[in-house]
Amino acid sequence: MDLVLDNGVITSAAGAPPGKRARLLASLVDFCRSRADLPILAAPGVQAMLSATFLSLAVDADAETRRWLSEQVATAAWTPAALARRLALDDISIARPMLAASPVLREADLLEIVGRTTPDHQAQIARRTGLGRAVIAALLDADCPRVLTALIANASARLEASSLSRLAEQARWMPGLRAPLARREELTADIAQVLYTYCGQSVRQTLSGRFRLADETRAAEMPCATVVQFPQARDAMDRRLVEKLHAAGQLGPALLLNALRDGRLELFLAGLSALGGIEAWRLRSALDSNQPELLARACAAAGMDRSLFATILRHVRDANGGRPSGPQSELHVADAFSTPPASSAFRKVAQAV
């Protein structure tokens, strides 16, 4: 029985104008919601029909309609799996409800989403209840502070000793992980000892209050780690992430700015190189120069907004030992963002340095 057509909700999804699509989607959601307890709604044939109808209406809908749809179907067990995956892969403002609570998304779906989307998507997945071992491993592989912080803060996530040990190593260069990791219930004395050797005093107090740590006095005399080298393996991982996102059309200025805020300078440089079409070695030279306008030209080539440059420069200097040095000339910055084509302008100026 064609439940949807018999109910008169959908007469023709294909080719419907935007306004009608939104009304049809609302009617279809109401129809499914009012019949959520009927076993027939989960029947394969009905699910296939719902999937085709929902997707035909949603695929070309505007962002606001897709966001509304995601909020309406996020917790529903009757949501077609194809629709759930489609919404979960959308922009994070649309995907967030699905990633947070959809019971339709299985482990295989979550693994695919982790591998194809941004740190914002990954962090939202890290907050889900009932994460499986494979998904946790994939989130650890993301190697992103925001994602790992969300995972550690998720009390429902079962972190095994191997995961905790890996997090303790990642916390060496991600200071934000240290305090929440020290509070994890599953933390063992051996891992706590590793964490203790490079943490600040407040985290050490937390660990000392929970564990009887061996050689505690000797560890306390060690200076807290303040500078951590960026391993070559992590550089390669960042380049692979950028290549994947760039190929999928998902690499944008927002991700680069988030990378800087997370202290991931090499990820920022890899993304800037890809978006701006500028060789990585030229960017590195620009960052170590005394001409901030070179960084401005690179940002312009990557399509970043001029209003963000002061923030970008501050974060770059924080992560790069105060470089690029030299005064920030508003005139030079304005010229950098108004000279087309920006990538060619960058090379021309950089060659003169």
For the record, the structure tokens of 131 come out as: 């994460």
Q: What domain range is 177 assigned to?
A: 133-220
246 in the same domain as 200: no
Tens of pLDDT, residue by residue over 187-243, are: 999 899 888 888 888 888 899 889 887 554 344 444 443 333 344 556 677 788 888
- Say which residues have a Cβ less than 8 Å from residue 34's Cβ, sequence separation at least 6: none
Is position 109 within any domain?
Answer: no
Whether 210 and 317 map to the same domain: the answer is: no
In a domain, 236, yes or no: yes
Mean pLDDT for the chain? 82
Distance CA(320)–CA(325), nearest Å, equals 10
Report yes or no: 302 and 272 within 8 Å, Cβ to Cβ.
Answer: yes
254 shares a domain with 335: yes
First to last CA, the chain: 74
Is residue 48 in a domain?
A: yes
| Cα–Cα distance measured from residue 157 to residue 164, given in angstroms and rounded to the nearest whole number | 12
208 with 255, same domain: the answer is no
Report yes or no on 94 lying in a domain.
yes
Cβ-based neighbours of 143, under 8 Å, separated by 6 or more: 170, 234, 237
**Per-residue pLDDT reduced to its tens digit, 70-112:** 999 999 999 999 999 999 999 999 999 999 999 999 999 999 9
Residues 197 and 252 in one domain: no
Distance CA 203, CA 278 (A): 42
Per-residue pLDDT of 258-291, as tens digits, reads: 888 877 888 899 999 999 888 888 898 888 888 8
331 and 254 in one domain? Answer: yes
14 has pLDDT over 90: no
- Euclidean distance between CA atoms 94 and 121, whole angstroms: 10
pTM exceeds 0.75: no
In a domain, 323, yes or no: yes
Q: Where are the beta strands (DSSP E) in the chain?
A: none
Same domain, yes or no: 274 and 347: yes
Do 208 and 137 lie in one domain? The reply is: yes
Name the residue among 296, 292, 284, 286 with its Cα closest to residue 326. 292
The number of folded domains in the chain is 3
pLDDT at 114: 93
Q: How far apart are CA 342 and CA 335, in angstroms?
A: 10
